Amino acid sequence: MNMNPVALKEWASAINTLTEGRQIILLRKGGIEEETRRFELKSHSFYLYPTFEHQRTDLVKKEYRSFVEQSLADFRPNAPTVRLTAYAEVAADLEVHTLEQLGLLYPYHMWTEGLASERLRWKAQDPLHVLLLRVYLLDEPAEIRVLPEYSGCRSWIELTPPPEAGSLKPVLSDEEFGRKAQAIGSLLGQP
């Protein structure tokens, strides 16, 4: 696989649920510092860049709180590097416009109903993007330097220099991923 030197910034705890196969979706609306102030899918494949700001156990379902606790325990403020462990491909970018649609997805993600609905209501004129992700573990985690341009509330960053490409291992088998992806897609009227 030709690996793109782009990364999507996401809570470290959410990345860990993806790499353990506990969920295959992310809910995106866009960061405050986005150029357009809304989420745009800038790449269909990318590294997952862990962030630690804004994570709180009360924002995730009880069964996922250990993911937040562990990621916060691992957090090293002002560390000169960050470890990338995963790469993802977007299987679908689904749009959610209503609380009813969002409610159908509740069993498939880690966030509380309150946080998920808050994301939908923020900039209500824009849809909530549900990224259906095929996630891969990097054979060798990439330790990359943290650059000033990586900070801030934005979704996408260009990794400079790009991590060395290694081999990837899918988190879920083709069959298991296909089953989960079809279940989620069918809830939103997608094939």
- Domains (range + CATH), the chain: 6-187 (2.30.130.30)
132 pairs with which residues across the strands? 25, 92
Percentage above 90 pLDDT, the chain: 69
Mean pLDDT, the chain, whole residue set = 91
- Residue 178 — very low, low, confident or very high, per pLDDT cuts 50/70/90? very high
Q: Which of 77-81, 85-89, 129-133, 178-182 has the lowest mean pLDDT?
A: 77-81
Pairing of strands 168-170, 25-28: unpaired
Mean pLDDT of 66-83: 90
pLDDT higher at 66 or 40: 66
Sign of CA dihedral 7, 13, 19, 22: negative
pLDDT on residue 70? 93
pLDDT on residue 54? 85
Mean pLDDT of 115-123: 91
pLDDT on residue 103? 96
Helix pair angle (12-19, 65-74), 10° resolution: 120
Is it the case that residue 120 has pLDDT exceeding 80? Answer: yes
Percentage above 70 pLDDT, the chain: 94
Is it the case that residue 113 has pLDDT exceeding 90? Answer: yes
